[in-house]
Amino acid sequence: MNPLALSLIELGAVVFSLGLLARLAGKIGMSPIPLYLLGGLAFGTGGIVELEGMADFSHLFGEIGVILLLFMLGLEYTASELFTGLRRSWQAGLLDLILNFLPGAALALFLGWGIVGAMVMGGVTYISSSGIAAKVINDLGWLGNRETRVVISLLVFEDLTMAVYLPVLTTILAGVSFLGGLTTVGIALAVVSLVLLVVLRHGHHVSKAVHSENSEVFLLNVLGAALLVAGVASAMQVSAAVGAFLLGIAISGVTSHNATRILAPLRDLFAAIFFVAFGLNTDPASIPPVLGWALVLAFITAATKMVTGFWAAKRVGIARPGRLRAGAALIARGEFSIVISGLAVASGAVNQELAAMATAYVLVMAVVGPLAARYVEQVVEIVLPPEDVVAKV
């Protein structure tokens, strides 16, 4: 068959199937991410049917998906909100980092994956899924709750940590010398700091530069700027995703709202293809040997996220129901964990066993997170009368 025709047929079939999976996920009240990963596993290397035509564009589409995910995450915050959240949550954020980075890193060392594997798995287990957390909070009607501000502050802290972590990880994965690594990391951190300073003082100029009343012009401006900044960031040894995230922070006000509305369908499309592409590159046969460890890791890090949310909410005087909800909202891992493992696998610095571990872990956590949030809500309603729940939160 004509290679172009094959690619178009496979792409069309994948996108249509993604729509069906998303509809199924919505009906059963869960995130579609696990279903996207399972779809990729089924039709990738070692799957039921291998989609050869997808290989030509899945990598690029996946990269665009990551960029849009992080860019639109940045749109959720203004620079002042980012720094305010950081000042308020830095102690809880450090506890979050310690409790949730160490289990993944320790397991990687135990399994003989070395320092590089430890850095990767630590990041995979540390970062919560902002997308799943936001969906859980919205679906369960927690938007007006006091603990929601605590959850958002911790997510902001994690995002800022990623702005430092990803350049460091990229340098380690590149295998450069120690001196060269220090230089690269120094440049990356200097660029991130400079961009944050510009965003804080001159972010309104960025909003004006991309804004347009014409929706077509606005879409082209915003999407082009996101890809351009991501590319420049990558060239300067800063993760493309982090560059897009920082640009998102710089855009605020009406411009931010309009950008979210216009780009949301594109983000959903490319992000879905990203998760499928990751699954396509993972051999399903590699998952059963690591599934037991993935379940152990999931149990431990679900507990550590509960501790983090509970302690952070307690510090600001929130009652026990709110503390439990805060912890449950942080449990799910998703997009960022897959981004981290995807960067590692693409670099060739880690083996496929780590990719399998990350896939199995995210599959479990993306399902357990929303279920835990619903379970905690039911427990709160059973243990306390409705009026007491409202009064104490």
- Tens of pLDDT along 130-155? 777 877 776 677 877 888 888 878 88
Token code pair at residue 343:
């960067």
355 versus 186: which is more confidently predicted? 355
Q: How many CA atoms lie within 13 A of 288 on its CB side?
A: 2
Tell me the average pLDDT across 312-330.
90
Least confident of 4-18, 41-55, 314-328, 355-369: 41-55
Grade residue 255 by pLDDT with cuts at 50, 70 and 90.
confident
Q: Tell me, what CATH number does 248's domain have?
A: 1.20.1530.20
- Percent of the chain scoring above 90 in pLDDT: 14
CA distances from 113 to 157, 284, 367 (A): 28, 20, 27
> Residue 56 — pLDDT band, cuts 50, 70, 90?
low
Overall number of domains in the chain: 1
pLDDT band (50, 70, 90) for residue 71: confident
What confidence tens digit (pLDDT) does each residue in 188-221 have?
Answer: 667 666 766 766 676 677 778 888 888 888 889 8
Task: Supply the pTM of this predicted model.
Answer: 0.72
Closest Cα partner for 283 from 345, 218, 208?
Answer: 345
Q: Look up the domain containing 185 and give its range.
A: 3-392
Tokens of 14: 């994948």
CA dist 239 and 219 (Å) reads 23
Of the two residues 39 and 183, the one the predictor is more confident about is 39
In whole angstroms, give the CA distance from residue 184 to residue 357: 29
Decide if pLDDT at 47 tops 70. no
